[in-house]
């Protein structure tokens, strides 16, 4: 083969290969196998999974990455988001709604969370466990790091995220006792299943939202969710469960 025909062939080959797809030559999964590929970071891979709605895949990427480097705190908000996403939290819906103190946090939040009437009981408990994992993941970041914007560039976002997940968990925990699985309406009938300890847990969860550090953007949400606890405590009743029943009755009007 002459130089000229080789050059012509090579030129045609470049044209054919470049027209054959849109994958990067250095891509680790679909690129050219004979060159050393360029792999995105665990955070970047996880973020891609998150935006594709594949939350379990994001958890699978981030869990070992965090185990390997527990002090890489940039991964914690993403893992929390993956748990929350798998737990059914519609984060985009919450972002759009811009839940504030003027809203009824209970109904506003519930629109973006799984409720006992939208999923079966077992799935609801799994969702609740996932949202609890989201809260636990962010609480695993040491508080001095979480609040230090110099040490942790995502500090404000992470606290805002924690506020959303803690609020979501508190309301999901309450909803399992007050929303009818068949009709989806708020009803006191469901409260028969609630133990006194669970009633106390409802208040503790709600108050935990108010105890979070204040950052830009979370104060309205904190006020709205904490107001539920205050309103419950202001209701007549001998026990916390009675007060919750009275509160639920007001929500039902």
| Tokens 């929390």, located at residue | 80
The residue within the footprint of other proteins, chosen from 68, 96, 204, 230 (CB under 8 A), is: 96
For other proteins, the binding residues in 121-180 under the rule CB under 8 A are: 154, 156-158, 160-161, 164
Is residue 77 involved in binding other proteins (CB under 8 A)? yes
* Residue 95 half-sphere exposure toward CB, CA atoms < 13 A: 6
- Minimum distance from CB of 11 to other proteins (Å)? 4
Which residues sit opposite 186 in a β-bridge? 179
Q: Hey, is 179 helix, strand or coil? A: strand
Site residues for other proteins, window 216-245 (CB under 8 A)? Answer: 216-218
Give the C-alpha separation, 75 to 122, whole Å: 29
Nearer to other proteins, 125 or 214 (CB): 214
Contact 125, 193 (CB under 8 A): no
Other C-beta atoms closer than 10 Å to the C-beta of 67 total: 8
What's the longest Cα–Cα distance across the chain? 98
Pick the stretch among 46-54, 171-179, 224-232, 233-241 that binds other proteins (CB under 8 A).
Answer: 46-54
Shortest Å, Cβ 153 to other proteins: 8
Instruction: Using the minimum distance from each CB to other proteins, give the nearer residue, 51 or 204.
Output: 51
d(CA 234, CA 68): 48
| Interaction between residue 22 and other proteins (CB under 8 A) | yes
Q: Is 25 in the site for other proteins (CB under 8 A)?
A: yes
Contact 74, 153 (CB under 8 A): yes
Residues that bind other proteins (CB under 8 A): 3-4, 7-8, 10-11, 14-15, 17-28, 31, 38-41, 43-44, 47-48, 50-51, 74, 77-78, 80-81, 85, 91-92, 94-96, 98, 154, 156-158, 160-161, 164, 216-218
């Amino acid at each position: 083969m002459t130089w000229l025909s080789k050059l012509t062939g090579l030129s045609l080959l470049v044209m054919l290969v470049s027209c054959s797809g849109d994958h990067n030559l250095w891509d680790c999964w679909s690129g050219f196998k004979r060159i050393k590929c360029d792999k995105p970071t665990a955070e970047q891979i996880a973020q891609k999974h998150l935006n594709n709605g594949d939350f379990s895949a994001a958890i699978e990427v981030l869990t070992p990455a965090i185990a390997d480097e527990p002090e890489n705190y940039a991964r914690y908000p993403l893992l929390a988001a993956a748990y929350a996403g798998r737990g059914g939290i519609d984060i985009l819906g919450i972002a759009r709604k811009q839940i504030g103190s003027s809203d009824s946090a209970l109904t506003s939040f519930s629109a973006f969370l799984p409720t006992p009437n939208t999923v079966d009981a077992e799935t609801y408990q799994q969702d609740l466990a996932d949202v609890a994992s989201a809260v636990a993941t962010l609480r695993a970041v040491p508080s001095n790091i979480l609040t230090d914007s110099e040490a942790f560039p995502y500090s404000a976002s992470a606290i805002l995220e924690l506020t959303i997940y803690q609020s979501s968990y508190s309301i999901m925990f309450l909803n399992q006792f007050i929303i009818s699985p068949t009709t989806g309406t708020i009803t006191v009938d469901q409260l028969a299943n609630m133990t006194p300890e669970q009633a106390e847990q409802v208040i503790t969860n709600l108050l935990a939202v108010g105890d979070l550090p204040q950052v830009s953007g979370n104060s309205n949400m904190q006020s709205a969710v904490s107001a539920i606890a205050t309103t419950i405590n202001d209701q007549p009743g001998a026990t916390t469960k009675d007060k919750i029943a009275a509160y639920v009755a007001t929500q039902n009007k």
